[in-house]
Amino acid sequence: MPGRRKDPGLTPMMLIIAWGNPLRRDDGAGLRLGEMLERLWRERDGDVLHIAVHQLTPELAEDVARDDVSGIVFTDARVISAEGGNAQPGIRVHPLSAKSRALVFGHGLDPATIMACVRLLYHKAPPVWLATVPGVDFNHGEGLSETAEKALSSIPERLRDLGKKTVAGAPVMRNSRGSGGLVS
């Protein structure tokens, strides 16, 4: 809530917001990545909240603004060409900045819009990242393509390390410019 102070007794945790549709083949890859990260981080650190949704909605801003959330990772699938071409075949991880806008993922809202709601309504700007899994088959059906499965077989160390917490309780990750997470 606006104006609330953080309770020093709260244990900082990572929030995973995974979205997609498991009945549209590779569109479910972001959901699978969210489950994998939850298991990984819970085994190692213990403090994780995982929310799985079919699409992003403004109501998620309330979860993101919780006082115990130290960082957020949105997980989704991204479309790549079946021929490969110049597409990066692995999981991509990008810190999102306050200037991130108008991202198009084929869902109702995007992470930048959710974070804009958090800043506007709750005056908070926790660090946030977007992790995407490559997909080539978004037709009706269950199960992931070989491309998505292969990408999920190797979670990048950079993404694994997001679940680690510093002594102060916040995750640390630097981008190539040396700044971390969401910049307000």
Count of Cβ atoms closer than 10 Å to residue 24 Cβ = 18
Structure-model confidence comparison of residues 98 and 91, the more confident one? 91
Give residue 168's pLDDT band: very low, low, confident or very high (50, 70, 90). very low
Structure-model confidence comparison of residues 67 and 97, the more confident one? 67
Residue 171 covered by a domain: no
Q: Mean pLDDT over all residues of the chain?
A: 79
Q: How far is CA 4 from the centre of its chain?
A: 25
Per cent of the chain over pLDDT 70 is 72
The pLDDT value given to residue 25: 93
Residue 102 covered by a domain: yes
Residues 72 and 157 sit within 8 Å (Cβ to Cβ): no
pLDDT over threshold 90, residue 100:
no
The pLDDT value given to residue 181: 37
**Three-class SS state of 66:** coil
pLDDT over threshold 80, residue 89:
no
Residue 129 covered by a domain: yes
Q: In 3D, which of 182, 183, 57 has the Cα closest to residue 127?
A: 182
Our separate counts of H helices and E strands in the chain read: 5, 5
Domain that holds residue 24: 13-163
Residue 168 covered by a domain: no
CA distance 171 to 13: 9
The pLDDT value given to residue 84: 57
Provide the number of structural domains found in the chain: 1
Lowest mean pLDDT among 42-46, 65-69, 113-117: 42-46
Residues 45 and 170 sit within 8 Å (Cβ to Cβ): no
Count of Cβ atoms closer than 10 Å to residue 95 Cβ = 20
CA distance 30 to 78: 9
CATH code assigned at 21:
3.40.50.1450
* Phi, psi (deg, nearest 5) at residue 84: 90, -70
Residue 85 covered by a domain: yes
Residue 106 covered by a domain: yes
Per cent of the chain over pLDDT 90 is 48
